[in-house]
Amino acid sequence: MSERRAFAVALACGGLAALLSAAHAAAEPRVTLLDLPFRVTQLRDAGSEAALAVTTAGLPQLPRKAGPVAVVWGEGGAAVLTLSGNRIAVVSLPLDAIEGLTVGETPKGALPGTRRVLAGPVSAYLSGPSRGPDGRPGAAGVTLRERQTVTMSADPKPVPVVTATVPPGSGAVFSADTLRPVEIDGALHLLALGEHPEGTGLSLIGRQDGTWRVRAETPSEPGPLALAADLPGPTPGAVLVRGAEGRLEHWSLAGGKPTRLAQGGKGGDGKGADGKGFAAPGAVLGSELVVASRDRAALAYVSLKDLTERARASLPAPVGAGLAVLGRQVVVALADGRLATVQDGDAQP
C-alpha cells in the first residue's frame, strides 16, 4: 500500500471513529441546571391539581396557550415551567399566589403530608390517620367525594355531593403515598398501596355494583413497596418498585385484573445494567420509564416492554421533591433545592 493510500485509509477510519464518537455523545442524556432565585421544595407535574389550578386561574404572567405545565415553589419563591419549543421556560410567580391556588391540596380530614387527586367530578384523598402492621403512619380509608349532576334552572342551587369511604381490608391500612387516578374500560379507578400483616401490594379501587370498593389487589409481599408510575392509555398499568434492592415490576390493569407483565431489569434480577436497583419517583416518557436509581443520584431510562435499562444520567445531587415530564424533557427537583432538566435524544417516542 502506498503512503498516500495508507494516509487516506487512516483518515477515513479516523473520520468514522469521530462520527461514531459524536453519535455516542449525542445519545448520552444531557443534564442542565435551571437558574432559579429560590430553593425548590415542592414540584407538581402537569396532571396535578396545582397545575390545573394554575392553568385555569387566568394568571397574566402565563402565555395564553401555555400547554402542559409543571409548578415549583419553595420558601423564597414560586415558578411555572412551560415548554417553549424544545426549551423549558420559567415564569416567576409570587409565592402567595401559588399558596392560594394549592391550599386545597390537603383537605380537612386528609392524611397529613398527602394530597387529594381530582378526576372529573370525583375528588379522592387518604383519610383517617392510622398505623400499619409495622407501626408506620398510614390511612384507614380512601374518601371519595363525587359531584352530582344538577338540572338546569333559573334559580341557583347547590351542587349535591355524594361521599364514600373505602377501607383497605381487615388488619390493613393504605400507605401514606399519594393516590393515582387511572381510567380502565372508560371508568375511573384509583391506585393505592395496601399494607397487610403479610406484606404490601397494589390496591385497585373502583366502582362495583354502584359501590366504591377495593376491586382487586396484587399479591402482598414483605418489604418496602412504592408506586413509581401509573401508565395511562388503552392498556393501563402501573410500575412498582419492590424490596430493599429496588426491583421493578410492570403490571397491566386491563379489565380491572392486575397481571404482571415483567419484573426486574437486565437479566431479570431486578437490577439495572450496572447492578444497581431503582427507586420512586418515576414517569412515563413514550415507550420508556424514567425512574430514579436506588441511591437517587441518577435517572435511568428503562424499557416498559422488558424493563431493561438503556441509558442513565448522573445528577449533580440526589432526587429530592420529585420529577415531571414536559415534552421530551424531564424536570427534576434535587435534594439541595436546585432544579435540573434531563434531555435524551434517544428517548423512545
Q: CA nearest 132: which of 172, 160, 182, 165?
A: 172
Write phi, then psi, for 154 (nearest 5 degrees). Answer: -75, -25
Q: First vs last Cα of the chain: how many Å apart?
A: 47
In this structure, which amino acid lies at residue 59?
L
- pLDDT at res. 332: 98
Q: Is the pLDDT of residue 295 over 70?
A: yes
Question: Worst-scoring range by mean pLDDT, 29-33, 149-153, 172-176?
Answer: 149-153
Name the pLDDT band for 179 (thresholds 50, 70, 90).
Answer: very high
- pLDDT tens digits, residue range 200-236? 999 999 999 999 999 999 999 999 999 999 999 888 9
Name the pLDDT band for 3 (thresholds 50, 70, 90).
Answer: low
Question: Worst-scoring range by mean pLDDT, 118-127, 146-155, 322-331?
Answer: 146-155
Q: Which three cell numbers stand for residue 333?
A: 427537583
Query: Per 3-state DSSP, what percentage of the chain is helix, strand, and coil (rounded to 5)?
Result: 15, 45, 40
Mean pLDDT of 228-257: 94
| Cis upstream peptide for 158 (omega within 30°) | no
Q: Is the pLDDT of residue 267 over 50?
A: no
Measured distance CA(319)–CA(338) in Å, rounded: 10
Name the pLDDT band for 134 (thresholds 50, 70, 90).
Answer: confident
Q: Is the pLDDT of residue 152 over 90?
A: no
Render 182-210 in DSSP notation, one character per residue.
EEETTEEEEEEEEEETTEEEEEEEEEETT
Name the pLDDT band for 27 (thresholds 50, 70, 90).
Answer: low
Q: Percentage of the chain surpassing pLDDT 90?
A: 72
- pLDDT at res. 265: 52
Q: Is the pLDDT of residue 180 over 70?
A: yes
- pLDDT at res. 142: 98
In this structure, which amino acid lies at residue 257?
K
Mean pLDDT of 322-341: 96
- pLDDT at res. 67: 79
- pLDDT tens digits, residue range 60-83? 888 777 778 999 999 889 999 998
Q: Is the pLDDT of residue 347 over 90?
A: no
- pLDDT at res. 149: 83
Q: Is the pLDDT of residue 43 over 90?
A: yes
Domain ranges of the chain: 106-217
Which residue is it, cell 416518557? 285
Name the pLDDT band for 41 (thresholds 50, 70, 90).
Answer: very high
